[in-house]
Amino acid sequence: MKYFLFILILKFSFNYAMAQGNGKKVYSLKGKIENWNDRFIYFSCKGFGSDRIWDSTIVKNNAFEFKGVLEEPSNGFITTLKWNRIKNLSDKNITERLFISPSQMTITLKVDSFHNAKLIGSKLQMEYLGLENSKKKFYNKIDPLSKLYDSLNDEYIKTSKLEKEELIKEELSEKLDSLRNIFDTLNEKCSLIDRAFFKKNPNSYITAYLLKDYYSSISLAELEYYYNKMHPETKKWEYGIKLKEAIGKLQKGSPGGIPYNFTSIDLNGNVIALSQFKGKYVLLDFWASWCKPCRAGNPELINLYKKYKDNGIEFVGIADDDGSEDKWKLAIKNDKINIWRQILDMGIGEKYAVHSIPLQILINPKGVIVNRFGEGGEPNENLSKVLESIFGK
């Protein structure tokens, strides 16, 4: 028996060495977990979202192991979930995000407390946790506020359907605005910490990974700055490629870009194409029925439309309500924004690199984008000033 075990160990060592010798980068994740024997545990370090590639193994004697080949650093999850993983990956009691690279690692887990996982052998994990810890004091304030905000927002949406509850809606709106201002302040402090890290560590996988959360909130010039600072090898990584793609979309959807020429069916069942408005200014308004800031900004958009509609400008509403047409139609009716053309997004926003709403894009009569408004919570007054400078009133 001892001789047999020796042969197995020798075989594993030989295969590991051969894989490294063939240029393949091997990882090994050995784990310890109590009270989970003879059950499956799941691990993923490749793919995105619903396309993630998952591996599984059975825990024996409180131990398990995952191993494979990684061509670059990666992030993934270890979890006890078999079904509905994408929906529940945020549950830190049974799931933990891991940052790994081709190396030999060990992890210690506790059932129902995965967020206390101890991963040894991954420099990336230590780097990520160090950055997260520097923002922890802000997270501790954000988390309870987020729950309160979601609760108030749900209440606001329900109340919006009741025409006689204007006072309640106004009170809820003020509370939501107050919370949003607190969020903005806390998130900005976290953002400053992240961006200092990006500048100091342009070739870090963590930098490339986290930048995806900033595609909509920092300028195209800043994104290009971070990308240009990256090592050519970093640019080949999955998130380096995604950053390049995001920059390309932003370039097309930013001032100077040629807008995507969409064709769609509007609220009234009529065909609408962007090309039909050539020779006029066009304002694309990206919004949604569930987006409170979008809805709150509609009265000002109505004022701007009435003020300039006879001066050669068309408004087109593009709503992120593809799966909820009834709510989309009701919001248009309640907000009285059927005075301009309204269509569903159906992938149009992606073509314009729209990562957050509300957002407006202004296109000039020559068919060139001249401005983007609304990113980072920018108020409509900036749009008002631009339109005033164009039309002179």
- 369 neighbors 259 (Cβ within 8 angstroms): yes
SS3 298: helix
The residue with greater pLDDT, 135 or 379, is 135
Instruction: Give residue 49's pLDDT.
Output: 74
Instruction: Give residue 149's pLDDT.
Output: 82
Residue 310: HSE in the Cβ half-sphere, 13 Å Cα cutoff: 3
What tokens were used for 233? Answer: 């090898």
CATH class of the domain defined by 22-120: mainly beta
Q: Which of 87-101, 163-177, 192-206, 225-239 has the lowest mean pLDDT?
A: 163-177
Residues in the chain: 393
Instruction: Give residue 179's pLDDT.
Output: 83
Does position 375 have pLDDT exceeding 70, yes or no?
Answer: no
Task: Please state whether the predicted TM-score (pTM) of the whole model is above 0.75.
Answer: no
349-353: average pLDDT: 88
- 363 neighbors 370 (Cβ within 8 angstroms): yes
- Degrees, nearest 5: CA angle 291-296-297: 100
Q: pLDDT tier at 8 (50, 70, 90 boundaries)? A: very low
41-51 pLDDT tens trace: 999 998 877 78
Instruction: Give residue 110's pLDDT.
Output: 93
Instruction: Give residue 207's pLDDT.
Output: 97
- 54 neighbors 43 (Cβ within 8 angstroms): yes
Report the relative pairing of strands 40-46 and 53-58 from DSSP bridges: antiparallel
The residue with greater pLDDT, 382 or 163, is 382
The one-character DSSP state at 46 is E
Q: In what order do the strands lie in the sheet with 104-109?
A: 63-69, 26-33, 104-109, 118-120
Instruction: Give residue 35's pLDDT.
Output: 93
Give the phi and the psi of residue 98 in degrees, each rounded to 5.
-125, 145
100-141 pLDDT tens trace: 999 999 999 999 899 889 999 999 999 999 999 999 999 898
Residues 6 or more apart in contact with residue 12 via CB below 8 angstroms: none
Give the start-end residues of each E strand in 216-340. Answer: 263-265, 271-273, 281-287, 313-319
Q: Which of 194, 233, 234, 232 is nearest to 214 (CA)?
A: 194
CB atoms within 10 A of CB 319: 30
141-180 pLDDT tens trace: 888 888 888 888 777 777 766 655 666 667 777 888 888 8
Classified by CATH at the fold level, domain 263-391 comes out as Glutaredoxin (3.40.30)
Instruction: Give residue 105's pLDDT.
Output: 96
**What average pLDDT does the chain have?**
86
258-270: average pLDDT: 94
Residues 6 or more apart in contact with residue 236 via CB below 8 angstroms: 72
Does position 277 have pLDDT exceeding 90, yes or no?
Answer: yes
Q: pLDDT tier at 92 (50, 70, 90 boundaries)? A: confident
Does position 31 have pLDDT exceeding 60, yes or no?
Answer: yes
Does position 190 have pLDDT exceeding 70, yes or no?
Answer: yes
Does position 373 have pLDDT exceeding 70, yes or no?
Answer: yes
The residue with greater pLDDT, 219 or 117, is 117
Domain boundaries defined on the chain: 22-120, 136-253, 263-391
Instruction: Give residue 108's pLDDT.
Output: 97
The residue with greater pLDDT, 118 or 52, is 118
Residue with tokens 């991954």: 122
